[in-house]
């Protein structure tokens, strides 16, 4: 059976669907969908080979253990998740945005073609985001199926009562279903909270599930305890904190990596955007430092969700597909890694 699941998964990843978030790959108008590789099998496959199936120097991986690494589709600006849903690869982060500022930022993003919005219960702005999305739908700017909304439940009391907390996110957003629900950080109740998310997926109220701030050790311990491989892991990633060992580990599990604080995070952007290596590369391409950093992430297979309330920044953050960084430029940015984490989690 696992062989069949793997083959189906490989097939689906090779032939992206044509409407973002609209259809689950493999759906034929019936109840059919793909079945995911069990999480236990996935971590075992990576542990057995110790490396990615396409890494050089490794023994060929047995067919039934093959895990397809998700590739970005730069034409469609999307990636196919292991859940069978397509996710945009550049979005809008909404941490610290509230009220009209948040609503206007989402509106500006939608008008500029952004189709991925990242929020969280802890950000206290799910209602505003739901309001902005519903308004855009009512005004004919988007259809619900065009947009991919991600939210998170927080450790502590929310994860102690995951069913109520997840339902509360759905109620606050009020957009029918949530495209991606994540557990905000590891927590003593994270396995139970994850199982609650799996249940909501069964019920069709959530489409994909994920884990932010899970690294190699956390994933190795966590995955054997759950049935579904997360579709997304969201971690801090920027040129000063590159996670060069963690990113391939996650990607080799068939999980898409999303980077938070892509520009270093509020309060830290000055150093990064003013870095002489980044600015030199920016001048060479006639783009901004932010665009160089976002493009660097995308070329590493990392989804970006820069936060902004500035319409000009929001627009420019989408204009990262008309140029590409050379191998040498990627390596120069790679050499900037300082292991400098800008937040504790």
Ligand X SMILES: NC(=O)c1ccc[n+]([C@@H]2O[C@H](COP(=O)([O-])OP(=O)(O)OC[C@H]3O[C@@H](n4cnc5c(N)ncnc54)[C@H](OP(=O)(O)O)[C@@H]3O)[C@@H](O)[C@H]2O)c1
Residues interacting with ligand X, by CB under 6 A?
Answer: 93-95, 118, 184, 212-213, 234, 260-266, 269, 273, 288, 290, 305-310, 313, 316-317, 345
Residue (82 or 309) nearer to ligand X, CB: 309
Q: How far is the CB of 230 from ligand X (least distance, A)?
A: 13
Residue (45 or 182) nearer to ligand X, CB: 182
- Round to whole Å and give the CA distance between 257 and 16: 18
262-268 long-range contacts, Cβ below 8 Å, gap at least 24? 262/237, 262/238, 262/293, 262/294, 262/297, 262/304, 262/305, 262/306, 263/238, 263/290, 263/293, 263/294, 263/306, 264/238, 264/240, 264/342, 265/236, 265/238, 265/342, 265/343, 266/95, 266/96, 266/307, 268/342
Instruction: Supply 248's token pair.
Output: 């391939």
Residue (36 or 309) nearer to ligand X, CB: 309
- Round to whole Å and give the CA distance between 130 and 135: 8
Q: How far is the CB of 71 from ligand X (least distance, A)?
A: 23
Residue (210 or 301) nearer to ligand X, CB: 210
Q: How far is the CB of 290 from ligand X (least distance, A)?
A: 3
Q: How far is the CB of 272 from ligand X (least distance, A)?
A: 8
Q: How far is the CB of 265 from ligand X (least distance, A)?
A: 4
- Round to whole Å and give the CA distance between 86 and 13: 10
Residue (17 or 263) nearer to ligand X, CB: 263
Per-residue HEC secondary structure of 193-225 comes to HHHHHHHHHHCCCEEEEEEECCCHHHHHHHHHH
Residues contacting residue 316 through CB under 8 Å, at least 6 positions apart? 288, 290, 291
Active-site residue, 123 included: yes
Q: How far is the CB of 345 from ligand X (least distance, A)?
A: 5
From 85, 95, 123, 321, the catalytic residue: 123
Residue (38 or 93) nearer to ligand X, CB: 93
By CB neighbour count within 10 A (0-12 exposed, 13-18 middle, 19+ buried), where does 211 fall? buried
- 3-state SS, residue 181: strand
Number of residue whose CB is nearest ligand X = 307
Under a CB-based contact definition with an 8 Å cutoff, are residues 251 and 258 in contact?
no
Q: How far is the CB of 29 from ligand X (least distance, A)?
A: 34
Q: Which residue has the tokens 């032939």?
A: 15
Residue (37 or 240) nearer to ligand X, CB: 240
- Round to whole Å and give the CA distance between 308 and 314: 6
Q: Nearest Cα to 234, choosing from 119, 84, 78? A: 119
Instruction: Write out the catalytic residue numbers.
Output: 123
């Amino acid at each position: 059976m696992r062989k069949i699941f793997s083959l189906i998964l490989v097939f689906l990843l090779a032939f992206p669907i044509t409407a973002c978030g609209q259809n689950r790959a493999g759906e034929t108008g019936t109840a059919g969908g793909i079945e995911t590789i069990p999480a236990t099998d996935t971590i075992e496959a990576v542990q057995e080979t110790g490396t990615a199936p396409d890494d050089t120097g490794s023994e060929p991986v047995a067919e039934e253990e093959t895990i397809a690494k998700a590739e970005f589709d730069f034409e469609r600006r999307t990636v196919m998740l292991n859940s069978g849903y397509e996710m945009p690869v550049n979005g809008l982060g909404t941490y610290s945005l509230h009220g009209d500022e948040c609503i206007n930022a989402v509106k500006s993003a939608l008008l500029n073609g952004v189709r991925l919005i990242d929020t969280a219960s802890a950000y206290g702005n799910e209602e505003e985001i739901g309001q902005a999305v519903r308004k855009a739908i009512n005004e004919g700017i988007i259809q619900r199926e065009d947009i991919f909304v991600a939210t998170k439940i927080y450790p502590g009391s929310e994860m102690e009562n995951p069913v109520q907390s997840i339902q509360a996110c759905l109620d606050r957003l009020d957009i029918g279903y949530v495209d991606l629900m994540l557990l905000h950080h590891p927590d003593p109740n994270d396995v139970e909270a994850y199982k609650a998310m799996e249940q909501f997926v069964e019920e069709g109220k959530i489409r994909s599930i994920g884990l932010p701030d899970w690294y190699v050790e956390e994933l190795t311990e966590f995955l054997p305890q759950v049935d579904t491989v997360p579709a997304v892991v969201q971690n801090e990633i920027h040129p000063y904190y590159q996670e060069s060992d963690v990113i391939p580990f996650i990607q080799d599990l068939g999980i898409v990596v999303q980077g938070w604080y892509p520009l270093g995070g509020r309060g830290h952007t000055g150093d990064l955007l003013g870095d002489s290596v980044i600015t030199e590369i920016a001048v060479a391409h006639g783009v901004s430092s932010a665009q160089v950093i976002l493009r660097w992430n995308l070329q590493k297979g990392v989804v970006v969700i820069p936060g902004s309330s500035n319409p000009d920044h929001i627009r420019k953050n989408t204009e990262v597909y008309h140029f590409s960084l050379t191998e040498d430029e990627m390596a120069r940015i790679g050499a900037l890694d300082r292991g400098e984490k800008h937040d504790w989690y």
